[in-house]
């Protein structure tokens, strides 16, 4: 169903060269991430077992979008000229998934190096190695953006009218309202003045999402400089948190001082504890960086940074209406905006540690909000944080994998089939014909591809790989086990082969494999971890155990065979990388550009 829908969706909204059928001009600094988001699941789907045609089309579309948004003026040298790492993180998931799909691609490997060194070196001026800080919340291939213009935010003014004010001292604006009149020119000018004075310079926690690009590049190259940068930059934020009495500050000046442009306040930064989303914008990048550091080292102490902030918020909890609520925002007057504690952050940490300590963090205050499958798969407003991109059932999957919801796989597949069918109807609708629709009716049409995509992968990731779906704003996709088609020598489950991960613990995983073809045998290769970071120790089938030593294990399935397997593992036994049972990206060589 997804194979056919992916290709039909691409054919409807893109030209043969991969460019999107859309406007002939697009201003501002926002938006280059959005078209990537509409198609980024294509290579992830291929890595799960989708057709080669989907991967081939994905590559053409990535090149087409990159050229098109270069012409619009937002992308320079294949990377966003300047924007924040919430949006960089969303858009460059496409590149991370291409790494999973085909690590032999020389272009993707060299793009990874080019993109990562925008931050791990001073090549573009984004990074201050001496102070271990990224020099602005707005960065990219043209360097840090220390002065933001009226044109930069032009496409988002009508959207931000319905967000809380970014500052508490905007004339004529209630600082506690969930509305701020960006569309009014005087208010807009006041906001820009304050952004440039208080938020445009220095480091913010959101920049920790850049560690995923460096980790992605390490897995392509094995170059320890990228690993070392991830660890060093993450450690810098742990030190700032300790310096600030255990609370991660949300704004660091160019001299390295907390609150340097914000009269000493540790809150009030860009995508910080207050605006626009609150704690969500702190917790997600902390989880991204910490899980990257664990992936690269196996050292669970790296999880202490996000753990500390989850514990801080939980210590401030209060009960309302029979529910335990935690604060989501910090204003000048203190903590406000009390919401349910979202389990997803604890689940991300538990996926790395498999410790009861982190399981308890995921279960704190767990309410019936998370008892049922969410067919909308999204929602910032409902609780502290939210999901986008149809990744919305992390807590529900966690309950299943912990043994509390045995019917989840069937209900989840049914919900996903229904949602995919609705998405297909939606993108086929006459009002969404890209040749006739009015692309200029509102700026939000830039989100239409990600809103209408039918390629939804969360259920397949959860059930076949035994992991929550990636952090949507730039997290790498983790896995307990990954599958390869031995006969076709490619990633993903072979045609007609199903996998269901039942349990995950520190000693291994339990999984059912089924060859649904009654006439043909199939061979599948299991990999320990998403990036081969774990190692198999034992494989048990029908009570018979076989010793295993390595990251890969071949399983031959007779026609119609069903295998209930227990796969013993030693965790974080190997250097993570994009190597597959068939190819090592380190052997793909390098194209050396002519020296200037």
* Whole-number Å distance between alpha carbons of 461 and 537: 23
128 pLDDT above the threshold of 90: yes
Q: What is the pLDDT of residues 134-176, one digit of tens each?
A: 999 999 999 999 999 999 999 989 889 999 999 999 999 999 9
Q: Mean of the pLDDT values across residues 498-527?
A: 98
pLDDT of residue 386: 47
414 pLDDT above the threshold of 70: yes
* Whole-number Å distance between alpha carbons of 194 and 169: 9
384 pLDDT above the threshold of 70: no
pLDDT of residue 371: 74
DSSP category for residue 272? S
Q: What is the pLDDT of residues 354-363, one digit of tens each?
A: 999 999 999 9
Report residue 385: phi and psi, to 5°: 100, 180
Of 261-275, 366-380, 464-478, the poorest mean pLDDT is in: 366-380
DSSP letter for each residue of 517-578: -SS--EEEEEEESTTS-SEEEEEEETTEEEEEEESEEEEEE-TT-EEEEEEEEETT-S---S
* Whole-number Å distance between alpha carbons of 307 and 291: 11
Of 359-368, 385-394, 478-487, the poorest mean pLDDT is in: 385-394
The pLDDT mean for the chain works out to 94
378 pLDDT above the threshold of 60: no
Nearest of 528, 537, 518, 522 to residue 581 by alpha carbon: 528
Confidence category of residue 376, pLDDT binned at 50, 70, 90? low
Q: Mean of the pLDDT values across residues 412-420?
A: 94
Domains of the chain: 2-146+200-465 (1.50.10), 481-585 (2.60.40.1180)
pLDDT of residue 590: 83
pLDDT of residue 390: 84
Q: What is the pLDDT of residues 528-554, one digit of tens each?
A: 999 999 999 999 998 899 999 999 999
Confidence category of residue 383, pLDDT binned at 50, 70, 90? very low
Q: What is the pLDDT of residues 273-302, one digit of tens each?
A: 999 999 999 999 999 999 999 999 999 999
More confident residue, 83 or 586: 83
pLDDT of residue 448: 93
Q: Mean of the pLDDT values across residues 299-321?
A: 97
More confident residue, 132 or 390: 132
375 pLDDT above the threshold of 90: no
pLDDT of residue 387: 52
pLDDT of residue 385: 43
70 pLDDT above the threshold of 90: yes
83 three-state secondary structure: strand
Nearest of 366, 412, 367 to residue 391 by alpha carbon: 412
Confidence category of residue 461, pLDDT binned at 50, 70, 90? very high
**What is the Rg, in whole angstroms, of the alpha carbon atoms belonging to the chain?**
23
Instruction: Please state whether the predicted TM-score (pTM) of the whole model is above 0.85.
Output: yes
pLDDT of residue 279: 96
pLDDT of residue 36: 98
Q: Mean of the pLDDT values across residues 398-423?
A: 94
Q: What is the pLDDT of residues 330-346, one digit of tens each?
A: 999 999 999 988 899 99
What percentage of residues in the chain have a pLDDT greater than 90? 89
Of 134-143, 300-309, 442-451, the poorest mean pLDDT is in: 442-451
Q: What is the pLDDT of residues 6-59, one digit of tens each?
A: 999 999 999 999 999 999 999 999 889 999 999 999 999 999 999 999 999 999
Helix axes 106-120, 224-243, angle to 10 degrees: 40
* Whole-number Å distance between alpha carbons of 341 and 348: 14
């Amino acid at each position: 169903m997804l194979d056919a829908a992916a290709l039909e969706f691409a054919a409807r909204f893109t030209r043969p060269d991969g460019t999107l059928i859309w406007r002939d001009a697009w201003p501002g600094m926002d938006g280059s991430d959005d078209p990537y988001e509409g198609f980024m699941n294509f290579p992830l789907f291929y890595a799960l077992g989708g057709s080669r045609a989907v991967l081939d089309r994905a590559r053409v579309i990535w090149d087409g979008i990159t050229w098109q948004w270069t012409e619009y003026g937002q992308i320079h040298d294949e990377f966003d000229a300047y924007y924040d790492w919430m949006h960089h993180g969303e858009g460059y998931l496409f590149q991370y998934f291409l790494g999973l799909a085909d690590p032999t691609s020389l272009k993707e490997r060299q793009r990874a190096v080019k993109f990562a060194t925008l931050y791990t070196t001073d090549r573009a001026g984004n990074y201050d190695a001496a102070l271990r800080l990224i020099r602005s919340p707005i960065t990219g291939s043209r360097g840090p953006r220390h002065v933001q213009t009226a044109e930069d935010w032009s496409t988002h003014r009508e959207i931000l009218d319905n967000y809380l004010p970014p500052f508490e001292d905007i004339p004529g604006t209630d600082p506690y309202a969930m509305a701020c009149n960006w569309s009014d020119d005087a208010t807009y000018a006041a906001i820009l003045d304050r952004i440039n004075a208080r938020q445009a310079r220095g480091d913010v926690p959101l920049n920790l999402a850049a560690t995923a690009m460096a980790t992605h590049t390490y897995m392509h190259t094995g170059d320890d400089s990228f690993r070392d940068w991830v660890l060093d930059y993450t450690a810098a934020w742990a030190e700032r948190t300790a310096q600030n009495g255990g609370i991660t500050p949300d704004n660091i000046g160019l001299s390295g001082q907390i609150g340097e442009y914000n009269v000493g306040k540790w809150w009030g930064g860009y995508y910080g504890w207050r605006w626009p989303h609150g704690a969500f914008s702190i917790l997600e990048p902390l989880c991204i960086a910490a899980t990257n550091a664990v992936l690269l080292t196996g050292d669970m102490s790296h999880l202490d940074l996000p753990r500390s902030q989850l514990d801080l918020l939980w210590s401030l909890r209060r009960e309302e209406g029979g529910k335990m609520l935690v604060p989501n925002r910090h204003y000048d007057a203190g903590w406000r905006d009390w919401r349910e504690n979202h389990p997803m952050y604890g689940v991300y940490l538990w996926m790395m540690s498999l410790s009861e300590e982190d399981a308890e963090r995921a279960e704190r205050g767990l309410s019936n909000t998370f008892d049922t499958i969410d067919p909308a798969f999204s929602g910032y407003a409902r609780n502290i944080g939210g999901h986008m991109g149809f990744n919305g059932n992390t807590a529900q999957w966690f309950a299943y994998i912990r043994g509390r919801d045995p019917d989840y796989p069937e209900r989840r597949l049914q919900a996903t089939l229904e949602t995919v069918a609705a998405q297909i109807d939606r993108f086929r609708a006459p009002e969404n014909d890209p040749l006739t629709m009015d692309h200029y009716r509102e700026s939000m049409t830039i989100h239409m591809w990600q809103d209408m995509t039918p390629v939804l992968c969360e259920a397949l990731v959860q059930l076949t790989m035994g992991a929550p779906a990636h952090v949507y704003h730039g997290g790498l996709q983790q896995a307990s086990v990954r599958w390869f088609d031995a006969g076709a020598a490619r990633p993903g489950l072979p045609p007609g082969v199903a996998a269901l991960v039942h349990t995950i613990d520190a000693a291994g995983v339990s999984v059912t494999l089924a060859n649904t073809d009654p006439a043909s045998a199939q061979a599948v290769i299991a990999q320990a971890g998403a990036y081969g970071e774990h190692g198999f120790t034992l494989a048990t089938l029908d009570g018979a155990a076989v010793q295993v030593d390595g990251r890969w294990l071949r399983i031959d399935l007779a026609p119609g065979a069903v295998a209930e397997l227990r796969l013993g593992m030693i965790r974080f036994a190997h250097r993570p990388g994009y190597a597959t049972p068939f190819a090592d990206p380190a052997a793909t060589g390098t194209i050396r550009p002519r020296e200037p």
